[in-house]
């Protein structure tokens, strides 16, 4: 490799969905980009409810046409209070038709989404792939030096840290992170069911967290079942027959008889927030920038907005003949992402806490809030629009 071929405008470290989207968005805008990421099959069975703006971004990146047939539309979202408490909230139904949409978004298995992202990334001439891991990231005045696990060297003016929860890039930029373990674990698996879901996702709010049924194509749904860690372990260890019966009971049989499909994964839940989203030539995207519990399907939707914003700011700087990794560009990135990430982390945290047994004072507040959402059309419509895209991005 020549000197020129190892020096880039931007280097994305990490090839999860947020990193691949960032690398594609950068390279598609003409930024010479390196992607340092192992090419390995996606390892878990999570699905992602992609909300409106995320689907539009994936359209623009020419990713969506490659995977949309694997996704199911989400037209109605039901929130059901299944806490069995004194202050129980009424059921709230959000319908996309109420705000003039055909769908809130689409639920897709992450494996199919990743295949589509990988396929698009492989087509872009401005994107150079290092099928490797970053071993060291050293920030200098004019650029960042990266050494890979197989001893390759590259440098870039801007580094996009898409390297997940234990981000090496975040550490290299000396960005501290606050972490709160939630003593809750999500069990994920997919089911087939006897009755059609009619594109309705249902979130049962239990005293230990939500249990969510999200449509997949056909008579299938993906389940995210949040409970205490020991209970999640117990559920995962059940036979197919017993887990099918348990999940059908939890769903109050709304979808009829259920049959679990192969594959179960556990995710201990936490909230993580770095003190900065970008500085010292490093911009953080995806879970390197925010970890939130799976409530309201926000995590990767935030990650895709991170990807779009850093690609836009870097390409604007390059078009103006500027260095895309300067403090000014990273301050702009931090300012663009901060309100979105912090407001959503706060809302998800409050929604989650209001379910748990040890937050009694929040329970009547939550019941009244849900009642108001259910009863007042303009408030409900505002909540739906805000859930899809923050006001300042419309």
Ligand X SMILES: Cc1cc2nc3c(=O)[nH]c(=O)nc-3n(C[C@H](O)[C@H](O)[C@H](O)COP(=O)(O)OP(=O)(O)OC[C@H]3O[C@@H](n4cnc5c(N)ncnc54)[C@H](O)[C@@H]3O)c2cc1C
Q: Which residues bind ligand X (CB under 6 A)?
A: 13-19, 36-37, 46, 48-49, 133-134, 162-164, 168, 186, 188, 224, 267, 286-287, 294, 297-301, 303
For 68, phi and psi rounded to 5 degrees?
Answer: -65, -25
Q: Which is nearer to ligand X, 15 or 278 (CB)?
A: 15
Of 205 and 318, the one with the shorter C-beta distance to ligand X is 205
Residue 313 beta carbon to ligand X: minimum distance, rounded to whole angstroms? 19
CA separation for the pair 16, 14 (Å, rounded): 6
Residue 235: CB minimum distance to ligand X, A: 14
Helix segments in the chain, DSSP class H = 17-28, 52-60, 110-121, 168-172, 229-237, 240-250, 299-319, 327-353, 362-375, 377-388
- Cβ burial of 218 (10 Å; 0-12, 13-18, 19+) is exposed
Minimum Å distance from CB 295 to ligand X?
9
Q: How far apart are the first and last CA of the chain?
A: 44
Coil, helix or strand at residue 313 = helix
**Which residue's CB is nearer to ligand X, number 34 or number 370?**
34
The minimum distance between CB 51 and ligand X, in angstroms, equals 7
Residue 50 phi/psi, 5° resolution? -85, 120
Q: Find the shortest distance in angstroms from Cβ 377 to ligand X.
A: 26
Nearer to ligand X, 16 or 369 (CB): 16
Whether the Cβ atoms of residue 122 and residue 35 lie closer than 8 Å to each other: no
Residue number, 1 or 40, with CB nearest to ligand X: 40
CB 191 within 8 A of CB 300: no
Task: Output 101 or 372, the one with its CB closest to ligand X.
Answer: 101
For the bound state, the minimum distance from the C-beta of residue 57 to ligand X, rounded and expressed in Å, comes to: 12
- 295 CB-near residues (< 8 Å, 6+ apart): 203, 210, 348, 351, 352
- Taking the complex as a whole, the smallest distance from the CB of residue 39 to ligand X amounts, in Å, to 10
d(CA 285, CA 140): 21
Question: Looking at beta carbons only, is 37 or 308 nearer to ligand X?
Answer: 37
CB of 84 to ligand X, least distance (A): 24
Sequence-ordered alpha helix ranges (H) in 173-258: 229-237, 240-250
Q: Is the CB of 114 or the CB of 317 nearer to ligand X?
A: 114
What torsion do the CA atoms of 347, 349, 352, 358 make, to the nearest 10 degrees? Answer: -130
Residues 285 and 18 sit within 8 Å (Cβ to Cβ):
yes
């Amino acid at each position: 490799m020549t000197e020129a071929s190892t020096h880039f405008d931007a280097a994305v470290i990490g090839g999860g969905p947020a990193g691949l989207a960032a690398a594609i968005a950068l390279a598609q805008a003409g930024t010479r980009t390196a992607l340092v990421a192992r090419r390995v099959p996606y390892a878990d069975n999570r699905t992602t409810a992609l909300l409106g703006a995320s689907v539009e971004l994936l359209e623009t990146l020419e990713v969506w046409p490659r995977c949309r047939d694997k996704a199911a539309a989400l037209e109605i979202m039901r929130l059901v209070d299944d806490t069995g408490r004194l202050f129980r909230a009424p059921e709230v139904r959000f319908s996309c038709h109420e705000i003039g949409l055909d769908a809130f978004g689409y639920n897709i298995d992450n494996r199919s989404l990743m295949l589509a992202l990988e396929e698009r990334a492989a087509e872009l001439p401005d994107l150079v792939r290092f099928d490797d891991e970053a071993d060291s990231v050293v920030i200098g005045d004019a650029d960042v030096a990266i050494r890979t696990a197989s001893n390759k060297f590259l440098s870039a003016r801007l580094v996009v840290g898409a390297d997940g929860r234990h981000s090496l890039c975040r550490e290299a930029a000396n960005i501290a992170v606050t972490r709160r373990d939630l003593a809750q674990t999500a069990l994920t698996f997919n089911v087939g069911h006897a009755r059609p879901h009619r594109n309705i996702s249902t979130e049962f709010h239990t005293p230990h967290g939500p249990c969510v049924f999200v449509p997949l194509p056909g008579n299938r749904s993906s389940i995210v079942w949040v409970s205490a860690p020991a209970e999640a372990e117990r559920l995962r260890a059940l036979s197919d027959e017993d887990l099918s019966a348990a999940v059908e009971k939890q769903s109050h049989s709304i979808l009829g008889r259920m049959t679990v499909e192969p594959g179960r994964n556990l995710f201990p839940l936490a909230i993580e927030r770095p003190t900065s989203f970008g500085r010292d030539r490093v911009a953080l995207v995806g879970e390197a920038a925010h970890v939130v519990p799976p409530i309201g399907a926000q995590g990767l939707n935030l990650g895709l907005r991170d990807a779009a914003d850093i690609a836009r700011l870097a390409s604007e700087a390059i078009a103006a003949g500027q260095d895309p990794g300067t403090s000014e560009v990273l301050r702009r990135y931090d300012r663009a992402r901060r309100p979105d990430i912090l407001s959503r982390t706060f809302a998800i945290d409050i929604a989650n806490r209001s379910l748990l047994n040890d937050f009694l004072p929040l329970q009547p507040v939550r019941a009244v809030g849900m009642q108001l959402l259910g009863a007042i059309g303009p408030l409900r419509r505002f909540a739906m629009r805000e859930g899809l895209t923050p006001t300042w991005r419309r």
